[in-house]
Amino acid sequence: MTYFDPVHETMPREELDVLRLERLQSTLNRAYLNVAHYRRAFDDVGILPEDIMSIDDLQSLPLTTREDIEANYPYDMFAVPLREVVRMHRPSAKSSKPVVTGYTRNDLINWARLVARYMVASGVTKDDVVQIAFRYGLLSGGLGMHAAAELIGASVIPTGVGNTAEQIMIMQDYLTTVLACTPRYALVLMDTVKQMHVNPRALRLKTGIMGGEPLSLELRKEIESGLGIEVFDNYGSSLVMGPGIAGECQVHEGLHVYEDYFIAEVIDPKSLKRLDPGEKGELVITTLTREAYPLIRYRTGDITSIMEDSCPCGRTHMRLSGFYGRVDNSFKVKGIMVNPSRIEQILSEQGVDTRFQVRVYMEGARELSEVLLEVKEGLFFDEMRAQETFIERIERAMYAGLGVRMKVKIVPGAVISGRGVVVDERP
């Protein structure tokens, strides 16, 4: 077993808990002193940072929601002056209100070191040629993975997403050994490999560094056998940091949460009570080192469960069992997070009040999605031309509001099984 940071990754539980509590207290103080939102939230429940004497006391503090963050857009959740912020990112989820996160220089250093833990656990060394096929830019995937691979000293090819045929050529010519991308983009690459009559076994690829969306057992197997690689899963959340919050080890049984940097809780999204290990619920994260953007009990919306038993890999950090979708029924298509309630809102802005259903499906290697609207008298028209114009207008509004193209179709009510239901037909 190799570690990037053996001292912290295999730290005895007692020492780790002392370190965590120290870091938690300093995070709570920083947040209370510098972020008006947290001061108000703590005052509302009558708790001062100094009242939190154990990790367990954290439960008495309020949760932080996406709405809290939206209400403080753009910079009111920042705990340092803007001049100390050296980077900004935002999540892909386009909701009604935008959000932004910030990083100090130390935050970026920590981020690279955390993603590097995950890459080293996957066997990546300075001898590897790592192709980063995550999206670069405002989304945190590309730059997050990139910095870690460079820190390890691998040869990094920043291909980003797209130009798939060229990416295959690069894999062949540059002798790529490690592919970093979302599981779904791995499927697209597999499909293109097939179309180009390239033998995947003739490539030097040995490892897949995945993340960005839930990875089912079936999907993992398909990618592993299709590309002849070993796949490692990783958990990220843009506002919390980006990729590198938790990552698989070579045991492949769950994702270790880097507990010296984050506190993970799983709660019942309805009762908001903390759940026991093994019970599935919503992941709640508290950051322990973020300077620019501390988050206290942030509701990620991601569904998982905690595994507390020790792992043969030697890491003392607890694991998450895997990811099982979103509390709010959101889904990702072409890397963009789409929330059905946002679709409802866009429809309503366009004067459409009707039941709708979303369908996400594959056409060859292409991910497509469509919104099925229930036909309604007075709202839709017999006249073909007017209907076309109507559909075009809604499709434009969807694209502007979601950042991804969705087809719009008008269907009989019987086809629709509920308001805002998402039918995901992807493998």
Q: What residue ranges bind a copy of itself (CB under 8 A)?
A: 73-75, 82-83, 85-89, 98, 100, 102, 105, 108, 126-127, 129, 136-138, 142-143, 146, 150, 153-160, 163, 165-166, 169, 173-175, 400, 403
Q: Which amino acid is at 64?
A: T
Whose Cβ is closer to a copy of itself: residue 89's or residue 220's?
A: 89
Minimum Å gap between C-beta 88 and a copy of itself is: 5
Q: Considering only CA atoms, which of 393, 341, 395, 389 is closest in space to residue 368?
A: 395
Q: Within a 10 A sphere around the Cβ of 281, how many other Cβ atoms?
A: 22
| Cα distance between residue 190 and residue 187, in whole Å | 5
Q: Which amino acid is at 76?
A: D
Whose Cβ is closer to a copy of itself: residue 34's or residue 155's?
A: 155
Please, is 46 exposed, middle or buried when counting C-beta atoms within 10 Å of its C-beta (0-12, 13-18, 19+)?
Answer: exposed
Minimum Å gap between C-beta 407 and a copy of itself is: 21
Q: How far is CA 276 from CA 114, 279, 306, 307, in A?
A: 26, 6, 8, 9
Whose Cβ is closer to a copy of itself: residue 98's or residue 312's?
A: 98
Whose Cβ is closer to a copy of itself: residue 61's or residue 154's?
A: 154
| Cα distance between residue 102 and residue 3, in whole Å | 28
Minimum Å gap between C-beta 117 and a copy of itself is: 18
Minimum Å gap between C-beta 47 and a copy of itself is: 32
Minimum Å gap between C-beta 177 and a copy of itself is: 10
Q: Within a 10 A sphere around the Cβ of 402, how many other Cβ atoms?
A: 23
| Cα distance between residue 353 and residue 357, in whole Å | 13
Minimum Å gap between C-beta 53 and a copy of itself is: 36
Whose Cβ is closer to a copy of itself: residue 92's or residue 305's?
A: 92
Whose Cβ is closer to a copy of itself: residue 236's or residue 281's?
A: 236
